[in-house]
Amino acid sequence: MNIEVRAFINFKSYMPPDAKDGKAVLSIKDGSSFSDLLNELGIPIEEPRIVVLNGVSQGTSSDVNTYNIKEGDIIAIFPPIGGG
């Protein structure tokens, strides 16, 4: 199945070579979870991140790791932003 992944800032370095501006359409196995996607991209599971799934923020919760990816999903991965 095909999905679109959008990676920002430091996560761009994990994207495949054909990614343009941190965006790529990836073909993954049916039944893959978000943690499977992280593994495929080489992103450490413990790496802090903000995930946006189909335009809806999942925040920084690790609950998204078990999400079963579906055909056509658009997944954006951002580093957490700090400030004060």
CATH class of 2-78: alpha beta
pLDDT of res. 7: 97
pLDDT of res. 62: 86
Across the 84 residues of the chain, what is the mean pLDDT of every consecutive 10-residue run?
Answer: 96 96 96 96 94 93 92 96 61
Q: What is 11-70 written as a DSSP string? A: GGGGS-TT-BTTEEEEE--TT-BHHHHHHHHT--TTS--EEEETTEEEET-GGGGG-B--
The predicted model scores a pTM of 0.91
pLDDT of res. 82: 59
pLDDT of res. 44: 96
pLDDT of res. 83: 53
Q: Residue 9 in 3-state DSSP?
A: helix
